[in-house]
Amino acid sequence: MLRLDELGEHLKQWLTSTEVLEAVLARLRDLDPIVKVGGSAVVTRHADVLEVLEDSRAFGVSETYGPRMQRTTGAFVLGMEDTPQYQVEASFIRKAVRPHDLPRIRALVLDEATQIIEGARAAGRLDAATGYARRLALRMVRDFFGVPGPDSATLGRWMRTIFWDLFLNLGNDEAVAAAAVASSDELRPYLRSLIAARQQSISSGAPVPDDFVTRLVQSQTQAGIDDDGVRRSLGGVIVGAVDTTSKATVLALDQLLRRPEALAGARAAARAGDDQLVSAYAFEALRFNPHNSIIVRTCHRDTVLAAGTERETTIERGTTVYAATLSAMFDETVVERPQEFRAGRPASSYLHFGRGQHTCFGERINQITIPEALKQLLLIPNLRRAAGDDGELVFEGPFPERYLVELD
């Protein structure tokens, strides 16, 4: 028999589940696509969600993310409006990731995935969350971005607690905020020391790895970025590189394991080495349970949303706007038969990485890492969810913490 506290937790999980959320959002799409409640508005139609995300002058980010970044990573482009500082710092970090990096990134994922899977064969089971997807993401931060941390566990704690507060602490939970501040107080001096050491190596002519840290340091003078700007840029990028990637990988795997026909198609694509088709299965699976269902913006000026349509609505300045990307990806006016699983939908069907000025910095990287991580699991014969309760997806807050799968 469930205790009252257990019943409350089960009820909370049910109310916040993607299935329930999408059902509620579907009703809003039909009955009141732009609903205003107090100082908030929820936007559910695909066209209107795009309008919010793409009109960065009317719908900004600084009120929501700026203060959180100031108390953790420091100012970062995802919390800035389209200012001169944004333009300089966004260009600075984008130039540090280059097209020829993508094969290298795929190889890193393949190498780490192979090691993990081979190590799990004797036990016949694998934790696809912390033991696989999160390890892959931390390997990327260590080897591509050049930030190993004092150790993997500490680095993982820093990344999760800070990201949680920055982007997912919508209720302003004080414990979540305190954990993020504590982690930031540890991360800040660590990054300063790392950057200083890399600067010293470069200035002395010592060999340095070709990683993100090195590229930032090598270009900071030309870009006009001081040492704190390097630290802020580096910290902001790596914080978003771990739990988004691992969460997306786990949720996509879970959706495929729930759908035998889709799983068979994805496995066939993996065996055929069709990376494009594996990617199509991955992001279609993620549509049914995205790693981020809602993006928050603040209205900077009175704005007419969906002008000229029957749902035309004025959003007043200061309104907190919840752009429901989950709902947009199920909008039947844009997405054909949205309840069907269809690998190969047009890219416009998906909003996994947002849109507009603040499209996820790691979009190009994640379009490689997530499908490659899934591909290596799909190549395992008879991969399946562990039996009974062991196979249930367990979360720490909003993050997948354990997801046991079995392998022959």
What is the crossing angle of helices 227-239 and 152-163, to 10°?
Answer: 90
77 backbone dihedrals φ, ψ, rounded to 5°? -60, -30
Could you give the domains of the chain?
A: 4-406 (1.10.630.10)
What are the beta bridge partners of residue 406? 125, 384
11-55 pLDDT, tens digit per residue, is: 344 445 788 888 899 999 999 999 999 999 999 999 999 999 999
Residue pLDDT tens, the chain, 408 long: 334 343 344 334 444 578 888 889 999 999 999 999 999 999 999 999 999 999 999 999 999 998 999 889 999 999 999 999 999 999 999 999 999 999 999 999 999 999 999 999 999 999 999 999 999 999 999 999 999 999 999 999 999 999 999 999 988 899 999 999 999 999 999 999 999 999 999 999 999 999 999 999 999 999 999 999 999 999 999 999 999 999 999 999 999 999 999 999 999 999 999 999 999 999 999 999 999 999 999 999 999 999 999 999 999 999 999 999 999 999 999 999 999 999 999 999 999 999 999 999 999 999 999 999 999 999 999 999 999 999 999 999 999 999 999 998
380, amino acid identity: I
**DSSP annotation string for 177-237:** HHHHHHHHHHHHHHHHHHHHHHHHHHHHT-----SHHHHHHHHHHHHT--HHHHHHHHHHH
Residues 329, 287: contact at Cβ < 8 Å?
yes
- Interatomic CA distance for residues 177 and 175, integer angstroms: 5
What are the beta bridge partners of residue 314? 304
